[in-house]
Homo-oligomer: A and B are copies of this chain.
Amino acid sequence: MIPERVTLVDVGPRDGLQNEKQPVSTAHKVALVQRLQAAGLREIEVTSFVSPKWVPQMGDAVSVMAAIERPPGVRHSVLVPNMKGLEAALPTRPDEVVVFASATEAFSQRNINCSIAESLARFEPVVAAAHAAGLKVRGAISCTVGCPYQGAVTPDEVERVVVGMKAIGVDHCGIADTIGVGTPRAVQAVLERALKHYPLHEVSGHFHDTYGQALANILASLELGLHTFDASIAGLGGCPYAKGATGNVATEDVVFMLHGMGIDTGIDLDALVEAGGFISEVLGREPVSRAGRALLTKRRAAAAAAAVEAA
């Protein structure tokens, strides 16, 4: 049942950096995407066409999309919050666009100031326009296991939004544990609801590691046959709902597990760790990835030993 091959979508350049307070230059963003591609990532969430008033970090979306290399076989997605965002995104030729909704009314109101139904209604013409432009539409459902405002979330609540996403034509259903409170059985229960409406290859898991549960949740998802997961290089992103806590699961940790299990990802872990080290250095800190930190530490020790030998 566990798949032999897994596709990882690195959301570090968008979901990750969007939640980092420190401004990152366009050149560094482009260099990060470049390094992820070189490491073997074939799906990258590059940027977001949101208002720079709300998210200054994503204000260079057009420049980033224009500057990155677009090698064949790599799919670049961008987040669009509305029709205006889609219209700004289209000339930059993304391969996919990402739309989103919350599994809870409380989060929807607090995060985007409208009800779940209103958010889906707003996205309906966006999805249609994206399809008309030949783009795939990926939907992200947040707070599918827990919500910072409501608390616990039921699979029924999530399924209603999955059905709503499908009704407006969204091609792919991403199940996000936005605050990282999910545990294996709870995550499986939610994924089973998504799988009632979308095929296995169009459901993905997006897990946060705030409580250290992300890899266990990915393992539980693999056991349902799921083979697409979001992850964020160096664990970029933090957690906006618990200051100082961990957010997105780190791509390095996921790849370490998958490769250890003999599951193919097409990713070169060494190059990936280097990419994580690069962007962490830009941010002036260590990667929020346990595998990344351990492997960088080993690499530095080996380099230091080699330098002593050479001297």
Contacts and interface: CB of A to CB of B under 8 A. Distances in A.
Task: Give the residue among A186, A211, A257 with the most B Cβ atoms within 10 A.
Answer: A211
Interface in A285-311: 286, 289-291, 293-295, 297-298, 301
A257 B213 contact: yes
A215 interface: yes
Contacts of A294: 180, 210-211, 239, 242, 245-246
A183 B261 contact: yes
Contacts of A182: 260
Report, as a range, how many residues of chain A touch the other chain.
35 or more
A9 interface: no
Nearest to A258: B183
A262 interface: yes
A250 B286 CA distance: 20
A236 to B, nearest CB: 15
A39 interface: no
A212 interface: yes
Interface of A: 180-186, 209-213, 215-216, 218-220, 239, 242-246, 250, 253, 256-257, 259-262, 286, 289-291, 293-295, 297-298, 301
30 contacts: A180-B294, A182-B260, A183-B260, A184-B219, A184-B257, A185-B260, A185-B261, A186-B260, A186-B261, A209-B290, A212-B215, A212-B253, A212-B257, A213-B215, A213-B257, A213-B291, A215-B215, A215-B216, A216-B257, A219-B220, A239-B294, A242-B297, A242-B298, A243-B297, A243-B301, A244-B293, A244-B297, A245-B290, A245-B293, A246-B290
